[in-house]
Amino acid sequence: TWGFPGITDFVGLMAALERKLGAAAGLQFNGVGVVCHRFEAQTHRGYTHSFHLSRNPVRKDGSTAGIVEEGRIHLDISLVFDVSLSSQVADDAARQQLAQTVADLLATMRIAGGSVIAPHSPRSRRALQPQLRLEAEDPKQQADEFAKLSRRLLPGFALVARDDLLQDHQRTLSQGQSVPATALDAWLDLSRINTRAVRVPVAPLAGAADDKPAATERIEWQRDVRPGWLAPIPVGYAALSALHPAGSVVQARDATTPLRFVESVFSIGQWISPHRLRHAAQLIWWPTYDEATGLYRCRNACAPETFKGSTSALAAEPPPAPPLDTVSA
């Protein structure tokens, strides 16, 4: 899943941003959406792909220090936060000032370990001025306002959840098999490029010699067709232990917060142009927690009812949360 930060990085950024603003700002963050406009992976492509690595300081004797290879990427992104406002932020001037405060504070933070750099050109700076908009109560007006926002986010691709594809593909792989496919089988199959040998019928040639048998089929290599730009993504964490009281775990980084050991949880995401979404809930990711299963899960309400080629009919309302539609690793 290397290549783009996990959605948990952006949810963590949202939580850190809310803490830095403080309760006095009158802003509560509910979710975050991510749109990528440009990416530049720090790799070199020769006989094999290799990372562009940083140079560590040499040791006292002049020898090279050990290094852990780490993938890095340069990104041009837009963030869309779903927030709730207090009554103290009433007029347009106060909302614009609060939006600028959020942007200024965000510029001092890090996203997935990377530095935040403001747009360079004057044109892009004008186009990317922070805004804080109120959502209308009328559904039609909401759709019109989101259409304007989605056009403002072009050109780019939004990261949305496609848990439905993972479940459907698992059922497809299990058809006709004595041992049903697991969620991991479906996840791996969707995460790679598969090329299969397919028998194709061949029509007999006119005028062929009668003493030679005519070929009735040939073998062609065909690549599996995917319904869009799919990607394996981390979407949260699954608990491996009980919740330990604060300070009870030796050498924990934070002695004032309860601690729990977890493992990463993966699912399938899709990059889709923002103008194909119908409302903000299909763009936004929000964090959830299931106490019964110990699942810390980021969810997104983009669940296409049909998805064929370049057109899709998207659900008008967020779907109910499916049971366990992820892969732990």
Q: Compute CA distances 142 → 33, 75, 292, 305, whole Å.
A: 17, 29, 35, 21
Look-up of token digits 């934070």: 254
Q: What angle do CA 186, 187, 190 make, to 5 degrees?
A: 85
Number of H helices, E strands in the chain: 6, 16
Q: Over the stretch 263-294, which tens digit does the pLDDT of each residue have?
A: 999 999 999 999 988 888 899 999 999 988 89
Bridge partners (DSSP) of residue 312 are 307
For residues 131 and 98, what is the distance between their CA atoms, to the nearest angstrom?
Answer: 9
Contacts of 274 (CB under 8 A, 6+ apart): 35, 149, 150, 151, 153, 154, 156, 157, 158, 283
Q: What is the DSSP letter of 301?
A: -
Q: Over the stretch 22-37, which tens digit does the pLDDT of each residue have?
A: 888 888 899 999 999 9
User: 315 pLDDT exceeds 70?
Assistant: no
Minimal CA–CA distance to 302: which of 152, 157, 183?
Answer: 157
Q: Over the stretch 154-199, which tens digit does the pLDDT of each residue have?
A: 889 999 999 888 888 999 999 888 888 999 999 999 988 899 899 8
**pLDDT in the model for residue 305:** 45
Name the residue type at position 246. A
Q: Over the stretch 69-78, which tens digit does the pLDDT of each residue have?
A: 778 888 999 9
Q: What is the pTM of this model?
A: 0.80
DSSP 123-140: HHHHHT-----PPPSSHH
Ramachandran area for residue 228 (φ above 0: left; ψ -120 to 50: alpha; else beta): left
Q: Over the stretch 108-145, which tens digit does the pLDDT of each residue have?
A: 999 988 888 876 655 454 556 788 888 888 888 888 88
**pLDDT in the model for residue 323:** 36
Ramachandran area for residue 194 (φ above 0: left; ψ -120 to 50: alpha; else beta): beta
Contacts of 167 (CB under 8 A, 6+ apart): 186, 322, 325
For residues 46 and 41, what is the distance between their CA atoms, to the nearest angstrom?
Answer: 14
% of the chain residues with pLDDT over 90: 31
